Amino acid sequence: MKIHSLDVHIVDLPTIRPHHLAMHTIVNQTIVLACVKSEDGIEGWAEVATIGGASYAEESPEAIKFNTEKYIKPLIIGKNPANFGAISYLISQNVVGNYYAKALVEAAIIDLAAKALNIPSYELFGGQVHTSLPVAWTLASGDTGKDIEEAKECLAAKRHNIFKLKIGMGDPKKNVQHVLKIKEAVGDQASVRVDVNQAWDEVTSLYCIEALEAGGIDLIEQPLIHWNHEGMARLADRFKVPIMVDEGLGHIQGAHHIAKQRAGNVFALKVGKAGGLIATKKTAAIAEASGIPLYGGTMIESSLGTAICAQLYSTIPEIAFGTELFGPLLFKDTITTNAIEYENFEIKIPQGPGFGMTIDKEKVRHYSRDAQYSTATSHR
C-alpha cells in the first residue's frame, strides 16, 4: 500500500466559554487537520492544535499547513504507511523543527496504517496498558465564585476531581489567593494545581509557590520562562510541591537535558510539542529512566486530537499525575461523528480502527478556513 495524497485543513471551532491563559484568551480554538489517502481509498486523519496563533508555540496554524504541504508532503507520497517510523525519520532528516507539522503528518499516517490492519493505533505502540485515565479540568472563568461552583458541579457529576488553574495573567498575589480559596472550598475531595504558563520571574515564584505549597496545592506548572532551566532546577530543589515542565519541554534532546539538570521534576507530555507519537513515547522513556513522573498534557485539541493523545498515553504504564485531555468538553461543536467519553473522573480511551474516531466531513467543511476544500467538496 502506498500513500497517494495529503490534504491539510485549518478549522476554527468555537468554545463554550472564554478560556484564559497567560498569553492568550481562547474563544475560537484553531485546529489543523490532515488527511492522508492510500491508493485504494483508505483515509488516515489526524489533528494538532496550538494556542493563540503564534503566541504559545513557534508554529502558527498557518505555518503548520504551509510547511506540511510544501516541504513534508513530497517526502511521504508513494511511501508505505506501515513504515511510519522510517517516514518520520526521513522527514526529520529533511525538515528542521516544525514539530507540530511533523506530529500531524505522523499521526495521519499511523491512523492510515492502523486502519489498513483494522486495529487500534495503540497496538502499533506496544498495546494498551490503560483503558481509561484520570482527567483534569481547567477552571478558567477568572471569577472565584464561578470557579468554585464549576468545581463542585464537576465533583457531583463525577466528571473531574483534578482542577488546574491558569494563573499567569494579572496580579500574582491576588491569583494565589483565588487558588487558595478554591482549594479551601473543595478540600480533600480534589487535587488543585496551577499553571503559570511561564509568567513569573524567580523572585515572584519564590513567595507565590511558598504560599501555594502551604495551602495544599499539588502541582506547579511552568512558573518560569521556557528557557530558564537553571531557575526551574532551583525551584524544584527548594520546594516539596512538584514543579512541572511544560513549555520548556519539546524535542527529545531537550527532554534529556532537562532530566539531567532536574529543571522540573514532572514532565508534561504533549504529542504536538514533541513532534509526534514516536517522540512522545521516547520522551516518556527518558522520564522513566530518570525517575521523573509524567502528566498527559493537552494543547486543547478537539475529539480527534484528543483521541490521538489518549491512545498514545494509554500505552505508557505510569502516568502518575493523570491527564488533561478535557479538550472536547471545551468545544461547542465537534468534527467527528462519535464523541470522546468521560466517566467516573476519567477519559475512556477510544478504540480503533486507527484512533477510533470517524470524521464528520460536513462539519470539517463548515468550519474549515480553506475555501478550496469547501468548493471542491460541496459539488460532490
Residues from 215 through 244 that contact Mg ion (CB under 5 A): 221
Task: Collect all residues with Cβ–Cβ distance below 8 Å to 305 and sequence separation of at least 6.
Answer: 31, 46, 47, 48, 49, 299, 327
> How many residues of this chain bind Mg ion (CB under 5 A)?
3
Q: Map the footprint of Mg ion across residues 125-154, applying CB under 5 A.
A: none
- Residue 134: cis peptide before it, omega within 30 degrees of 0: no
**Interface residues for Mg ion in 332-351 (CB under 5 A)?**
none
Closer residue to Mg ion in complex, CB, 195/346 = 195
- For residues 189 and 192, give the distance between their C-alpha atoms in angstroms, rounded to a whole number: 10
Minimum distance from residue 270 beta carbon to Mg ion (Å): 9
Residue 195 vs 370, nearer CB to Mg ion: 195
Nearest CB to Mg ion, comparing residues 88 and 198: 198
Known catalytic residue at 273? no
In degrees and rounded to multiples of 5, residue 11 shows phi and psi of -125, 130
Q: Is 246 in the site for Mg ion (CB under 5 A)?
A: yes
Task: Look up residue 131 and give its three cell numbers.
Answer: 483503558
Identify the residue among 59, 106, 111, 195 touching Mg ion (CB under 5 A).
195
Q: Among residues 72 and 319, whose Cβ is nearest to Mg ion?
A: 319
For residue 324, state whether it binds Mg ion (rule: CB under 5 A): no
Q: Which of 164, 166, 270, 281 is catalytic?
A: 166
User: In angstroms, what is the minimal distance from the CB of 236 to Mg ion?
Assistant: 16
Least distance CB 85 / Mg ion (angstroms) = 28
Is 106 near Mg ion (CB under 5 A)?
Answer: no
Catalytic residue IDs: 166
Give contact residues for Mg ion (rule: CB under 5 A). Answer: 195, 221, 246
